[in-house]
A = this chain, B = another copy of it.
Amino acid sequence: MKLNILGCYSATPRTFTNPTSQVLELRNHLFLIDCGEGTQVQLRKNRVKFSRIKHIFISHLHGDHYFGLVGLISTFRLLKREADLHIYGPKGLKDVITLQMKLSDSWTNYNLYFHELTSKDSELIFEDDKVEVHTIPLQHRVYTNGFLFKEKEGERKLDMAAVLNADIDVAYYRKLKQGFDVENKKGIVIKNESVTLPPSPPKSYAFCSDTAYDEAKIPIIKDVDVLYHESTFLEKNENLCEPTKHSSAKQAATIAKKANVGTLILGHYSTRYDDINLFKEEAQTIFKNVELADDGKVFEF
Protein backbone atom coordinates (compact mmCIF):
# COMPACT_ATOMS: atom_id res chain seq x y z
CA MET A 1 0.00 0.00 0.00
CA LYS A 2 1.52 3.26 -1.18
CA LEU A 3 0.13 6.75 -0.72
CA ASN A 4 1.45 9.58 -2.88
CA ILE A 5 0.43 13.02 -1.63
CA LEU A 6 0.05 15.35 -4.62
CA GLY A 7 -1.37 18.23 -2.62
CA CYS A 8 -2.47 18.66 0.99
CA TYR A 9 -2.97 22.36 1.68
CA SER A 10 -6.35 23.97 2.12
CA ALA A 11 -7.99 26.69 0.05
CA THR A 12 -5.94 28.31 -2.72
CA PRO A 13 -3.16 26.81 -4.82
CA ARG A 14 0.09 28.74 -4.38
CA THR A 15 3.55 28.67 -5.86
CA PHE A 16 4.81 25.89 -3.61
CA THR A 17 1.64 24.31 -2.22
CA ASN A 18 -1.17 22.44 -3.88
CA PRO A 19 -4.80 21.80 -2.98
CA THR A 20 -5.96 18.32 -2.02
CA SER A 21 -5.17 15.35 -4.21
CA GLN A 22 -3.54 12.01 -3.53
CA VAL A 23 -2.95 8.70 -5.24
CA LEU A 24 -3.43 5.46 -3.34
CA GLU A 25 -1.77 2.38 -4.80
CA LEU A 26 -3.46 -0.74 -3.51
CA ARG A 27 -3.32 -4.22 -5.05
CA ASN A 28 -2.36 -2.84 -8.46
CA HIS A 29 -5.08 -0.18 -8.44
CA LEU A 30 -4.18 3.50 -8.62
CA PHE A 31 -7.02 5.33 -6.92
CA LEU A 32 -7.03 9.11 -7.31
CA ILE A 33 -8.60 10.82 -4.30
CA ASP A 34 -9.74 14.41 -4.79
CA CYS A 35 -8.45 16.53 -7.61
CA GLY A 36 -7.74 20.19 -6.82
CA GLU A 37 -6.55 22.62 -9.49
CA GLY A 38 -3.14 21.62 -10.82
CA THR A 39 -3.53 17.91 -10.06
CA GLN A 40 -2.62 16.87 -13.59
CA VAL A 41 0.68 18.72 -13.34
CA GLN A 42 1.31 17.21 -9.91
CA LEU A 43 0.65 13.77 -11.41
CA ARG A 44 3.29 14.48 -14.05
CA LYS A 45 5.78 15.81 -11.52
CA ASN A 46 5.28 12.71 -9.38
CA ARG A 47 5.55 10.47 -12.46
CA VAL A 48 2.19 8.82 -11.96
CA LYS A 49 1.13 7.05 -15.12
CA PHE A 50 -2.14 8.66 -16.24
CA SER A 51 -3.41 5.50 -17.90
CA ARG A 52 -3.30 3.51 -14.66
CA ILE A 53 -5.91 5.78 -13.04
CA LYS A 54 -9.29 4.20 -13.59
CA HIS A 55 -11.18 5.38 -10.50
CA ILE A 56 -11.38 8.91 -9.14
CA PHE A 57 -13.03 9.69 -5.81
CA ILE A 58 -14.19 13.24 -5.06
CA SER A 59 -15.02 14.02 -1.44
CA HIS A 60 -17.02 17.20 -1.98
CA LEU A 61 -17.58 20.07 -4.36
CA HIS A 62 -15.45 22.79 -2.81
CA GLY A 63 -13.04 23.99 -5.45
CA ASP A 64 -9.84 22.97 -3.70
CA HIS A 65 -11.00 19.34 -3.95
CA TYR A 66 -12.18 19.11 -7.57
CA PHE A 67 -11.37 22.13 -9.79
CA GLY A 68 -8.63 20.07 -11.45
CA LEU A 69 -10.96 17.27 -12.47
CA VAL A 70 -12.37 18.74 -15.67
CA GLY A 71 -8.86 19.48 -16.93
CA LEU A 72 -7.68 15.97 -16.15
CA ILE A 73 -10.65 14.44 -17.97
CA SER A 74 -9.91 16.72 -20.90
CA THR A 75 -6.22 15.83 -20.91
CA PHE A 76 -7.07 12.10 -20.88
CA ARG A 77 -9.07 12.79 -24.06
CA LEU A 78 -6.18 14.65 -25.71
CA LEU A 79 -3.86 11.76 -24.81
CA LYS A 80 -6.29 9.46 -26.64
CA ARG A 81 -7.16 7.42 -23.58
CA GLU A 82 -9.27 4.37 -24.33
CA ALA A 83 -9.82 2.83 -20.88
CA ASP A 84 -13.02 3.47 -18.96
CA LEU A 85 -12.91 6.09 -16.22
CA HIS A 86 -15.13 5.89 -13.14
CA ILE A 87 -15.79 8.98 -11.07
CA TYR A 88 -17.37 8.82 -7.63
CA GLY A 89 -18.56 12.05 -6.07
CA PRO A 90 -21.48 14.16 -4.89
CA LYS A 91 -24.53 14.68 -7.03
CA GLY A 92 -23.97 17.68 -9.26
CA LEU A 93 -20.50 16.68 -10.36
CA LYS A 94 -21.78 15.10 -13.57
CA ASP A 95 -23.65 18.30 -14.49
CA VAL A 96 -20.56 20.47 -13.98
CA ILE A 97 -18.33 18.25 -16.07
CA THR A 98 -20.78 17.55 -18.87
CA LEU A 99 -21.75 21.24 -19.14
CA GLN A 100 -18.10 22.10 -19.74
CA MET A 101 -17.69 19.30 -22.26
CA LYS A 102 -20.80 20.49 -24.07
CA LEU A 103 -19.65 24.12 -24.23
CA SER A 104 -16.24 23.12 -25.56
CA ASP A 105 -17.79 20.54 -27.90
CA SER A 106 -15.17 18.13 -26.55
CA TRP A 107 -16.66 14.78 -25.61
CA THR A 108 -14.41 12.04 -24.34
CA ASN A 109 -13.51 9.22 -26.71
CA TYR A 110 -13.36 6.88 -23.71
CA ASN A 111 -16.24 5.82 -21.49
CA LEU A 112 -16.82 8.11 -18.56
CA TYR A 113 -19.01 6.76 -15.75
CA PHE A 114 -20.30 9.02 -13.01
CA HIS A 115 -21.32 7.38 -9.77
CA GLU A 116 -23.10 10.19 -7.98
CA LEU A 117 -23.37 9.95 -4.23
CA THR A 118 -26.30 11.19 -2.15
CA SER A 119 -26.51 8.80 0.81
CA LYS A 120 -25.84 10.04 4.32
CA ASP A 121 -24.92 6.51 5.37
CA SER A 122 -21.75 4.64 4.57
CA GLU A 123 -22.10 2.58 1.42
CA LEU A 124 -20.01 0.19 -0.64
CA ILE A 125 -19.25 2.04 -3.88
CA PHE A 126 -16.57 -0.14 -5.48
CA GLU A 127 -15.63 -3.78 -5.15
CA ASP A 128 -13.61 -6.32 -7.07
CA ASP A 129 -11.87 -9.54 -6.01
CA LYS A 130 -9.07 -7.63 -4.27
CA VAL A 131 -10.44 -4.46 -2.69
CA GLU A 132 -13.52 -2.68 -1.43
CA VAL A 133 -14.20 1.04 -1.23
CA HIS A 134 -16.79 2.44 1.18
CA THR A 135 -17.92 6.01 1.76
CA ILE A 136 -17.37 7.67 5.12
CA PRO A 137 -20.05 10.33 5.66
CA LEU A 138 -18.36 13.50 6.96
CA GLN A 139 -19.69 16.67 8.58
CA HIS A 140 -18.81 19.71 6.48
CA ARG A 141 -20.47 22.83 5.09
CA VAL A 142 -21.58 20.92 1.98
CA TYR A 143 -22.34 17.23 1.38
CA THR A 144 -19.04 15.41 1.90
CA ASN A 145 -17.74 11.84 2.02
CA GLY A 146 -14.45 10.40 3.05
CA PHE A 147 -13.44 7.05 1.57
CA LEU A 148 -12.37 3.79 3.17
CA PHE A 149 -10.17 1.54 1.05
CA LYS A 150 -9.90 -2.06 2.27
CA GLU A 151 -7.94 -4.95 0.88
CA LYS A 152 -9.82 -8.23 0.88
CA GLU A 153 -8.32 -11.25 2.55
CA GLY A 154 -5.59 -12.43 0.17
CA GLU A 155 -4.70 -15.97 -0.91
CA ARG A 156 -2.71 -18.30 1.31
CA LYS A 157 0.98 -18.50 0.51
CA LEU A 158 2.71 -21.73 -0.56
CA ASP A 159 5.34 -23.04 1.84
CA MET A 160 7.42 -24.27 -1.11
CA ALA A 161 9.71 -26.57 0.87
CA ALA A 162 6.69 -28.33 2.38
CA VAL A 163 4.85 -28.42 -0.96
CA LEU A 164 7.80 -30.06 -2.74
CA ASN A 165 8.32 -32.44 0.13
CA ALA A 166 4.66 -33.50 -0.03
CA ASP A 167 5.08 -34.25 -3.75
CA ILE A 168 2.06 -32.24 -4.93
CA ASP A 169 1.48 -31.76 -8.65
CA VAL A 170 1.90 -28.12 -9.80
CA ALA A 171 -1.64 -28.24 -11.17
CA TYR A 172 -2.95 -28.13 -7.59
CA TYR A 173 -0.99 -25.05 -6.45
CA ARG A 174 -3.92 -22.76 -7.31
CA LYS A 175 -6.27 -24.80 -5.14
CA LEU A 176 -3.75 -24.76 -2.30
CA LYS A 177 -3.59 -20.96 -2.41
CA GLN A 178 -7.39 -20.92 -2.24
CA GLY A 179 -7.25 -22.94 0.99
CA PHE A 180 -8.30 -26.41 -0.21
CA ASP A 181 -6.79 -29.73 0.83
CA VAL A 182 -5.43 -31.62 -2.22
CA GLU A 183 -4.20 -35.10 -3.13
CA ASN A 184 -0.52 -35.57 -3.83
CA LYS A 185 0.92 -37.65 -6.69
CA LYS A 186 0.47 -40.81 -4.63
CA GLY A 187 -3.21 -40.07 -3.94
CA ILE A 188 -2.67 -39.11 -0.29
CA VAL A 189 -4.77 -36.17 0.98
CA ILE A 190 -2.52 -33.32 2.13
CA LYS A 191 -3.95 -30.92 4.70
CA ASN A 192 -3.81 -27.36 3.41
CA GLU A 193 -2.38 -25.91 6.63
CA SER A 194 0.55 -28.33 6.46
CA VAL A 195 1.90 -26.86 3.20
CA THR A 196 0.67 -23.21 3.16
CA LEU A 197 1.10 -20.08 5.23
CA PRO A 198 -1.62 -17.57 6.12
CA PRO A 199 -2.07 -14.57 3.78
CA SER A 200 -0.65 -11.18 4.71
CA PRO A 201 -3.17 -9.30 6.83
CA PRO A 202 -5.34 -7.09 4.58
CA LYS A 203 -4.51 -3.40 4.74
CA SER A 204 -6.87 -0.50 5.00
CA TYR A 205 -6.73 3.26 4.44
CA ALA A 206 -9.28 5.90 5.44
CA PHE A 207 -9.34 9.35 3.86
CA CYS A 208 -11.26 11.97 5.89
CA SER A 209 -11.20 15.47 4.46
CA ASP A 210 -12.93 17.90 5.00
CA THR A 211 -14.74 17.43 8.27
CA ALA A 212 -15.66 18.93 11.60
CA TYR A 213 -14.85 16.86 14.68
CA ASP A 214 -17.38 14.05 14.52
CA GLU A 215 -17.29 10.74 16.35
CA ALA A 216 -20.03 9.24 14.19
CA LYS A 217 -17.42 8.02 11.72
CA ILE A 218 -15.41 6.09 14.31
CA PRO A 219 -17.20 2.74 13.82
CA ILE A 220 -16.50 2.94 10.07
CA ILE A 221 -12.79 3.68 10.37
CA LYS A 222 -12.18 1.52 13.47
CA ASP A 223 -8.77 -0.21 13.43
CA VAL A 224 -7.68 0.99 9.98
CA ASP A 225 -3.96 0.81 9.33
CA VAL A 226 -3.72 4.38 8.13
CA LEU A 227 -6.04 7.33 8.64
CA TYR A 228 -5.60 10.59 6.74
CA HIS A 229 -7.55 13.16 8.73
CA GLU A 230 -7.72 16.83 7.96
CA SER A 231 -6.28 19.27 10.48
CA THR A 232 -6.90 22.70 9.08
CA PHE A 233 -6.19 24.56 12.30
CA LEU A 234 -3.89 24.60 15.31
CA GLU A 235 -5.33 24.83 18.80
CA LYS A 236 -4.94 28.60 18.99
CA ASN A 237 -7.46 28.92 16.13
CA GLU A 238 -9.74 26.12 17.29
CA ASN A 239 -12.59 28.65 17.49
CA LEU A 240 -12.60 28.60 13.67
CA CYS A 241 -13.30 24.86 13.51
CA GLU A 242 -17.01 25.01 14.25
CA PRO A 243 -18.02 27.82 11.87
CA THR A 244 -15.91 26.42 9.01
CA LYS A 245 -16.64 22.75 9.82
CA HIS A 246 -12.96 21.85 9.94
CA SER A 247 -10.82 20.06 12.52
CA SER A 248 -7.80 20.94 14.58
CA ALA A 249 -4.72 18.72 14.88
CA LYS A 250 -5.81 17.66 18.37
CA GLN A 251 -9.30 16.79 17.18
CA ALA A 252 -7.85 14.66 14.38
CA ALA A 253 -5.63 12.91 16.94
CA THR A 254 -8.60 12.28 19.21
CA ILE A 255 -10.46 10.58 16.37
CA ALA A 256 -7.34 8.51 15.58
CA LYS A 257 -7.05 7.43 19.20
CA LYS A 258 -10.71 6.56 19.64
CA ALA A 259 -10.74 4.65 16.34
CA ASN A 260 -7.57 2.80 17.33
CA VAL A 261 -5.88 3.40 13.97
CA GLY A 262 -2.30 2.39 13.19
CA THR A 263 -0.95 5.64 11.80
CA LEU A 264 -2.49 9.10 11.56
CA ILE A 265 -1.49 11.30 8.63
CA LEU A 266 -2.35 14.97 9.01
CA GLY A 267 -3.05 17.37 6.13
CA HIS A 268 -5.29 20.10 4.73
CA TYR A 269 -3.30 22.70 6.62
CA SER A 270 -4.49 26.28 6.57
CA THR A 271 -1.95 28.36 4.69
CA ARG A 272 -1.86 30.84 7.58
CA TYR A 273 0.78 28.71 9.32
CA ASP A 274 4.45 28.80 8.36
CA ASP A 275 5.54 25.65 10.20
CA ILE A 276 3.51 22.47 9.75
CA ASN A 277 5.57 20.67 12.42
CA LEU A 278 3.36 22.38 14.99
CA PHE A 279 0.46 20.21 13.77
CA LYS A 280 2.44 17.08 14.58
CA GLU A 281 3.49 18.37 17.98
CA GLU A 282 -0.05 19.21 18.99
CA ALA A 283 -1.47 15.93 17.69
CA GLN A 284 1.19 13.88 19.47
CA THR A 285 0.03 15.13 22.85
CA ILE A 286 -2.97 12.86 22.23
CA PHE A 287 -1.91 10.16 19.75
CA LYS A 288 1.67 9.10 19.21
CA ASN A 289 1.95 7.68 15.71
CA VAL A 290 1.50 10.83 13.66
CA GLU A 291 2.89 11.62 10.20
CA LEU A 292 2.68 14.90 8.29
CA ALA A 293 1.46 14.88 4.73
CA ASP A 294 3.31 17.18 2.37
CA ASP A 295 3.13 17.72 -1.37
CA GLY A 296 5.19 15.11 -3.19
CA LYS A 297 5.64 12.89 -0.12
CA VAL A 298 5.15 9.14 -0.52
CA PHE A 299 4.12 6.86 2.34
CA GLU A 300 4.54 3.10 2.10
CA PHE A 301 2.77 0.79 4.51
A35 to chain B, nearest CB (A): 11
Flag the segment in A68-76, A120-128, A212-220, A286-294 that touches B: A68-76
**B104 and A142 within 8 A (CB):** yes
A161 at the interface (CB under 8 A from B): no
Q: Which of A6-31 contact B (CB under 8 A)?
A: 11-15
**A239 CB within 8 Å of chain B:** no
Count chain A residues whose beta carbon lies closer than 8 angstroms to a beta carbon of B.
35
- Cβ contacts under 8 Å, A67 to chain B: 67, 70-71, 74, 100
Of the stretches A39-47, A145-153, A167-175, A223-231, the one at the interface is: A39-47
| A68 to B93 Cα, complex, angstroms | 17
B-side contacts of A96, CB under 8 Å? 96, 99-100, 103
A71-B67, A142-B104 given; A14·B41 CB < 8 A: yes
Shortest distance in angstroms between A217's beta carbon and chain B's nearest beta carbon?
Answer: 22
Contact string against B for A residues 72-111, beta-carbon threshold 8 Å, 1 for contact and 0 otherwise: 0011001100000000001011011001100111100000
B104 and A62: CB pair below 8 A? yes
Does B63 lie within 8 Å of A74, measured CB to CB? yes
Q: Contacts A38-B37, A99-B99 given; indicate if A44 touches B63 (C-beta within 8 A).
A: no
Q: Is the C-beta of A141 less than 8 angstroms from some C-beta in chain B?
A: yes
Chain A, 151-195, CB within 8 A of any chain B CB: none
**Chain B nearest CB, measured from A6 CB (Å):** 13
Is A197 part of the contact surface with B, judged by Cβ < 8 Å?
no
Contacts A15-B41, A92-B99 known; 8 new A-B pairs at CB < 8 A: A12-B71, A13-B40, A13-B75, A37-B37, A67-B70, A96-B99, A103-B142, A105-B141
Q: Which 5 A-B pairs have the closest CB atoms?
A: A61-B103, A12-B75, A92-B103, A37-B71, A63-B74
A-to-B contact residues, CB < 8 Å: 11-15, 37-38, 40-41, 44-45, 61-63, 67-68, 70-71, 74-75, 78-79, 90, 92-93, 95-96, 99-100, 103-106, 141-142
